[in-house]
């Protein structure tokens, strides 16, 4: 292979290598966050003050030797603090809010599950780059499904009932007295169940094309005690059943659909004349140059690895 002829500015190269080094540390920390989350290491440290690796290992039933290295990596990344004089580690309250409190609006371990799924799915995605074929949501590693639920649940819990629905003209009043709602692309059913719990006189129907997610959502509704209000069913955004809905909701899923125009047409046909379509989507600017920032980087990466492949796997495909 011919080597390209490059005119390298050493200062610029070193600047980029510094950025890449930070990215490497962040990337390899993904597995460490998942370990800390799944083994309860963060939760054991939350609000517990400073502790040694021996104390954390004993509290969590884990190996001290592994925990020592894990803590050292977390300290190097600023996820925990370290006091050299005492040899003890502390999970600051701010980090605890993000790493150990599941219902915190800042809770982030779910995002790391999503990231892990994209690494595991890399061979499929690499092949799709060559063929142009899509990679459906159902073809991804299960970390994507659970991670998505865990990542979005805190935000929905914080805002859906207290802010978003009250901001819609007349919708909250309808739901309080007894309305009907379709939650399309409901996934694990978090948003559907939250609404059912808040509006016990209303009926809610959750639809998703992914059968395993519907099974999970149905089990979650039973566990939450709202099965009499909620029905989950496998159905696509262009063919979900029912008419005369007071509200149809799309939470963070419209951009994944292969035919959003067809889905929009079906929503219009399924609503009452005075019904409301609620769309929740991540905010991004229209121009690439206005999204060249850390959030834009995450959005474009997620779009490349999850959203665009999902759309291309469906009819029309965008």
Sheet of strand 203-208, all strands in order from the earlier edge strand to the far edge: 230-234, 203-208, 180-184, 245-251, 271-280
- The per-residue pLDDT for range 231-284, each reduced to its tens digit, is 999 999 999 999 999 999 999 999 999 999 999 999 999 999 999 999 999 999
Domain with CATH 3.40.50.150 in the chain: 155-280
Token output for 55: 């104390």
Token output for 309: 């492949």
Dihedral through CA 205, CA 206, CA 208, CA 214, nearest 10?
-120
Q: pLDDT at residue 317 above 80? A: no
2 — pLDDT class (breaks 50, 70, 90): confident
Beta pairing class for 88-90 and 81-83: antiparallel
Q: Which CATH number fits domain 155-280: 3.30.413.10, 3.10.20.70, 3.40.50.2300, 3.40.50.150?
A: 3.40.50.150
**In contact, 217 and 186? CB cutoff 8 Å:** yes
How many angstroms separate the CA atoms of 48 and 42, rounded? Answer: 10
- The per-residue pLDDT for range 167-199, each reduced to its tens digit, is 999 999 999 999 999 999 999 999 999 999 999
Hey, which residues does 89 pair with through a beta bridge? 51, 82
Distance of CA 311 to the CA centre of its chain: 17
316 — pLDDT class (breaks 50, 70, 90): confident
Q: Which CATH number fits domain 10-101: 2.30.30.40, 1.10.150.120, 1.10.10.10, 3.90.1150.10?
A: 1.10.10.10
* Residue-level pLDDT at 1: 67
pTM of the entire predicted model: 0.93
Q: Give kind and range of the element (H or E) at residue 274.
A: strand 271-280
What is the rounded average pLDDT for all residues in the chain? 96
Nearest to 185 by CA among 256, 244, 129, 273: 256
Residue % of the chain over a pLDDT of 70? 99
- Residue where the block lists tokens 């070193």: 14
Q: pLDDT at residue 145 above 80? A: yes
Lowest mean pLDDT among 1-5, 147-151, 246-250, 251-255: 1-5
- Residue where the block lists tokens 């990231």: 115
Cβ burial of 84 (10 Å; 0-12, 13-18, 19+) is exposed
Hey, which residues does 1 pair with through a beta bridge? none
Query: To 5 degrees, how large is the angle CA 99–CA 195–CA 102?
Result: 10
Dihedral through CA 138, CA 140, CA 146, CA 150, nearest 10?
-110
Q: pLDDT at residue 318 above 70? A: no
- The per-residue pLDDT for range 283-313, each reduced to its tens digit, is 999 999 999 999 999 999 999 999 999 999 9
Token output for 154: 């805190």
DSSP three-state, residue 282? coil
**In contact, 68 and 79? CB cutoff 8 Å:** no
Residue 210 Cα distances to 4, 76, 81, 189, 220, angstroms: 46, 40, 42, 12, 16
94 — pLDDT class (breaks 50, 70, 90): very high
Domain with CATH 1.10.10.10 in the chain: 10-101
The arithmetic mean of pLDDT across residues 83-110, rounded, is: 97
**Which carries the bigger pLDDT value, residue 318 or residue 271?**
271
Residue % of the chain over a pLDDT of 90? 97
Q: Establish how many alpha carbons lie within 13 A of residue 88's alpha carbon, considering only the half-sphere containing its beta carbon.
A: 10
How many angstroms separate the CA atoms of 121 and 306, rounded? Answer: 10
Q: Give kind and range of the element (H or E) at residue 267.
A: helix 260-270
- The per-residue pLDDT for range 45-66, each reduced to its tens digit, is 999 999 999 999 999 999 999 9
Residue 63 Cα distances to 37, 44, 54, angstroms: 16, 14, 9
How many angstroms separate the CA atoms of 159 and 56, rounded? Answer: 35
């Amino acid at each position: 292979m011919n080597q390209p002829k490059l005119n390298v500015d050493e200062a610029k190269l070193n600047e980029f290598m510094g950025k890449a080094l930070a990215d490497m540390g962040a990337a390899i920390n993904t597995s460490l966050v998942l370990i800390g989350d799944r083994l309860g290491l963060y939760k054991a440290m939350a609000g517990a003050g400073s502790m040694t690796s021996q104390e954390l290992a004993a509290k969590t039933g884990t190996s001290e030797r592994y925990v020592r290295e894990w803590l050292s990596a977390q300290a190097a990344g600023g996820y925990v603090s370290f006091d050299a004089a005492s040899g003890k580690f502390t999970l600051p309250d701010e980090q605890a809010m993000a790493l150990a409190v599941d219902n915190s609006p800042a809770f982030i371990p779910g995002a790391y599950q999503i990231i892990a799924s994209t690494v595991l799915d890399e061979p499929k995605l690499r092949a799709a780059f060559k063929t142009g074929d899509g990679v459906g949501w159902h073809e991804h590693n299960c970390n994507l499904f659970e991670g998505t639920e865990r990542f979005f649940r805190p935000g929905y819990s914080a805002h859906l009932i207290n802010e978003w629905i009250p901001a819609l003209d007349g919708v909250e009043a309808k739901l309080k007295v007894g309305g009907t709602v379709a939650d399309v692309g409901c996934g694990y059913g978090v948003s559907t169940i939250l609404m059912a719990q808040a509006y016990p006189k209303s009926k809610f129907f959750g639809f998703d094309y992914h059968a395993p997610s519907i099974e999970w959502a149905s089990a979650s509704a039973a566990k939450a005690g709202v099965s009499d209000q909620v029905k989950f069913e496998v159905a696509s955004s262009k063919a979900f059943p029912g008419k005369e809905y007071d509200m149809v909701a799309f939470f963070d899923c419209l951009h994944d659909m292969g035919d959003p125009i067809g889905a929009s047409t079906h929503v219009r046909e399924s609503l009452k004349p005075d019904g409301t379509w609620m769309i929740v989507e991540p905010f991004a600017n229209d121009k690439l140059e206005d999204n060249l920032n850390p959030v834009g980087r995450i959005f474009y990466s997620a779009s490349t690895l999850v959203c665009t492949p999902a759309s291309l796997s469906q009819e029309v495909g965008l």
